Structure 1
Amino acid sequence: MAGDQRRVGDRRAQGRWAMRISCIHQGYELYGSDRSFIESLRAIRSAFPHAEIEIVLPREGPLAEALRKEGFAPAIEPLWVLRRHSLPQLIATAAIDLPRALWRALKRLRAADLVYINTAVVFDHTLVARLFKAKTIIHVHEIPEGGALKVLRALLRWSGAEIIFNSQATKRTYPGLAGQRSHVIYNGVALAADTQPVKATAEGPLHLLMLGRINRIKGQEVLLDALALLPPMLRARLSVRIVGSAFETRAPEIELERRITAAGLDSVVRLLPFVPDPAEHYRWADIVAVPSRLPESLGRVAIEAQAYGRPPIVSDIGGLGETVEDGRTGWVVPPGDPAALAARIEAILADPSPLPAFAEAGRTRFERLFSQATAAEALTGVLSANLARRQASAPSRRSAA
């Protein structure tokens, strides 16, 4: 791809086209990673107002609708996304579908001035990125396990691209990227949240919220086991909402409903479906539980909870420990430990009076570390520096690839 950047600069100087930034995302719903992608796009548009921003999603859905409302025009394309449940189908159709996907990725990356891939599981574009590594930035949000982790580590090394990690824990998961530029930027959350006072009192009910996809990672069953350990008199002082849906199947939701009934928690716990805007649930809550069993790369729910002045209880796993200042803005408990979670809930029930101070400290922490403005400045700084380096190298006739 020698001379690619120089040709782009010549055409831009002649006024024949604007800079093109290609942004590729693996999801189509409106969970945390999808909302983070929207916020990244807002930042890119603000920093590069005259750029042509190309957005590619794997299918139609709530994310595409939200982007159109924001004034973007996402393209829908059958991306090769590495997901556990879809691997058999990907492998079965690889002989036909993968070459096509790689060709589409090749054409896109060749035409772009800057490529932003969110995230490494977008296999086709990450694989092709090796040919255009100087202008490709991969934003990594995953802490996978086992074979998936080995594949993603190898894929990132192969790409040679510049990397953004969304936490220190995520960065530690991918060692061995010698020679590749890397950064840690916490996901920004665009919330103008009003920090309404926590309502809990020693006499009244404590509203506990858990929000997130229903799967083996998030730990809904850990919360249920913790609630079951509480004495009946304490459970009677709780009102719990578990909000979320499973991915493309209701089977985990049905199993969770069964567990709630089997534990005798029907009068305490309400299981509610996923909603694109969870603001009402945060305002209802007094505290938020994030009892993840497996590593979260960061933990958007814990960040949003602090933005709304709702202290979170988080598992000490992955990047979750980076979201909370233990004992000041929330609490950290061992992962997969219902007894420890139950003890923390019991302590809050016994004395909810510190909650307002936790709420104030949490909102301050959110604004300092996790606000959309803070993340936007860091993200666009990385993108601008990438462009500046390549523009500076263009006269020396070095390749942009």
Structure 2
Amino acid sequence: MRITCVHQGYELYGSDRSFVESVRIIRRAYPQARIDVVLPRHGPIVAPLSELGTRIVVEPLWILRRRDLVRLMTLGLLSLPVAMLRAWKRLRSSDLVYVNTSVVADYLLAARLCPGRALVHVHEIPQGATLTVLRMLIRWSGADVIFNSRATAAAFALDGKARTRIVYNGIAGPAAPEPKTYDGTRPLRLLMLGRISRIKGQEVLVEAIRRLSDDILDRLSVRIVGSAFEDAAREEALAAAIAKAGLAEVIALSPFVDDPSDLYRWADVVTVPSRLPESLGRVAIEAMSYGRPPLVSRIGGLTEIVEPGRTGWMVAPDDAAALSVALERIVRDPAAWAGFPQAARARYEALFDERAAASGITEMMAARLARSNRAAPAPALASVDS
């Protein structure tokens, strides 16, 4: 059996790590299958995938990114027929093609020409015209669809003709949570982890911290970790905002890291102050797996992760004042949330570990293959092609 897995990224941010875990699930379910992994370029993601895929193929993909829409809709259209032909050839030669996210337009367009072979896993909640375009692409493709949250499924609102299922991302956490060590006698360690972008809310966090009184600032240590996607100006603007607010002694800004495990161990609380809907919220789930309660925006899939007042906190999105108030309460009264770390870990184990995701993904794949009546196993070897 030949399975092709297609991903739009090449780094190791949350969406990239989710893809690696999906490929791991597929490999475990079909250990003898030939699994080709298609990426748009080489990057940190290649190393973990090389242990799972039979072959890693790096080739151009026609990816619908908001910042590239003008180029894609003009000169980029010239490359679309070639991209679709390449995708059609892979679809035709595969028993199943797993497409990670709805923005890989060439594969969704070509899937219509190879009915019954595509499974798209939707991990995003786009806005406005972009959502309309992506919804049309999925409907056109005829692919089976996995949504990573109820919020994502509701945003796309596909009709009853599509075969869909909601499967929360399965995230590999530590074997046991880290012990809680914060009791108010040292500064609270607050972590924000993720790509620097208008969506994630780094600026909201900086403004919320700026509003805190000096006595709270003295009891707070903050790390904002991440990089902007090919946008150095955004990173420089965030650093300038921290300096202008006089918070250089409180907030440490550092670049993206491939393995965030040490950061979660360092933290007491992890914040996800997203300004626009997250399809789920991987960082919040990873935090809970380490026994770190998350402070998140009440928006999108984040509302499906956190139980306010039990496993973490929620505040209104894009509201620096509300976030500031929540931070002050967390710092002033650690006893009020003493049970949150244990409850957060328990919720992670119940809903978000790899077993739950593995069941949902493999059942969707098995159903797709059964309807297509394709099941020819093939051995797997590891290599990297470019």
TM-score, length-scaled by structure 1: 0.91
The partner residue of 2:340 within 358, 361, 377 is 358
Amino acid at match of 1:328: R
Which secondary structure does the structure 2 equivalent of 1:246 belong to?
coil
Which secondary structure does the structure 2 equivalent of 1:134 belong to?
coil
For residue 71 of structure 1, report the CA deviation from its aligned partner: 5.7
Flag as ranges the 4+ runs of structure 1 deviating above 6 A: none
For residue 81 of structure 1, report the CA deviation from its aligned partner: 0.5
For residue 72 of structure 1, report the CA deviation from its aligned partner: 4.7
Whether 1:235 aligns to 2:217 is yes
- Which residue is equivalent to 2:70? 88
For residue 109 of structure 1, report the CA deviation from its aligned partner: 0.6
- Which residue is equivalent to 1:6? none
Whether 1:286 aligns to 2:268 is yes
Whether 1:144 aligns to 2:126 is yes
- Which residue is equivalent to 2:81? 99
Distance 2:80 2:155 in 1: 27
For residue 70 of structure 1, report the CA deviation from its aligned partner: 4.5
Identity %: 55
> Higher relative contact order at CA 8 Å, sep ≥6: structure 1 or structure 2?
2
- Which residue is equivalent to 1:74? 56
Which secondary structure does the structure 1 equivalent of 2:196 belong to?
coil
8 A contact 1:164–1:182 mirrored in 2: yes
The partner residue of 1:257 within 224, 232, 239 is 239
The partner residue of 2:320 within 338, 342, 346 is 338
Amino acid at match of 2:340: F
Which secondary structure does the structure 2 equivalent of 1:385 belong to?
helix
- Which residue is equivalent to 2:252? 270
Task: Return 5+ residue gaps in structure 1 as ranges.
Answer: 1-18, 393-401
Distance 1:104 1:368 in 2: 41
8 A contact 2:36–2:53 mirrored in 1: no
Distance 1:184 1:173 in 2: 13
Distance 1:113 1:57 in 2: 19
For residue 44 of structure 1, report the CA deviation from its aligned partner: 0.4
- Which residue is equivalent to 1:120? 102
- Which residue is equivalent to 1:191? 173
For residue 378 of structure 1, report the CA deviation from its aligned partner: 1.4
Which string of whole-angstrom CA distances, capped at 9 and with x for unpartnered residues, describes residues 153-172 of structure 1? 11111112111000000000
For residue 356 of structure 1, report the CA deviation from its aligned partner: 3.9
Which secondary structure does the structure 1 equivalent of 2:73 belong to?
helix
RMSD across aligned positions (CA) = 1.4
8 A contact 2:34–2:53 mirrored in 1: no
Whether 1:385 aligns to 2:364 is no
Q: If each structure's helix is expressed as a fraction of its own residues, which one has the higher value? A: 1
Distance 1:109 1:173 in 2: 27
Amino acid at match of 1:56: V
For residue 197 of structure 1, report the CA deviation from its aligned partner: 1.7
Distance 2:141 2:330 in 1: 48
Distance 1:250 1:141 in 2: 25
Whether 1:307 aligns to 2:269 is no
For residue 176 of structure 1, report the CA deviation from its aligned partner: 3.5
- Which residue is equivalent to 2:383? none
Structure of larger gyration radius: 1
For residue 193 of structure 1, report the CA deviation from its aligned partner: 4.8
Amino acid at match of 2:177: T
Task: Return 5+ residue gaps in structure 2 as ranges.
Answer: 375-386
8 A contact 2:37–2:53 mirrored in 1: no
Distance 1:354 1:175 in 2: 39
For residue 69 of structure 1, report the CA deviation from its aligned partner: 4.5
- Which residue is equivalent to 1:4? none
Question: Cα distance 1:223–1:81, how it changes in 2: closer, same or farther (>3 A)?
Answer: same
Amino acid at match of 2:321: A
Distance 1:193 1:263 in 2: 40
Which secondary structure does the structure 2 equivalent of 1:177 belong to?
coil
Which string of whole-angstrom CA distances, capped at 9 and with x for unpartnered residues, describes residues 225-275 of structure 1? 111111111111000000000001211110001110111111100001100
Amino acid at match of 1:166: N
Q: How many corresponding residue pairs?
A: 374
TM-score, length-scaled by structure 2: 0.94
8 A contact 2:88–2:114 mirrored in 1: no
Question: Cα distance 1:380–1:176, how it changes in 2: closer, same or farther (>3 A)?
Answer: closer
8 A contact 1:197–1:356 mirrored in 2: no
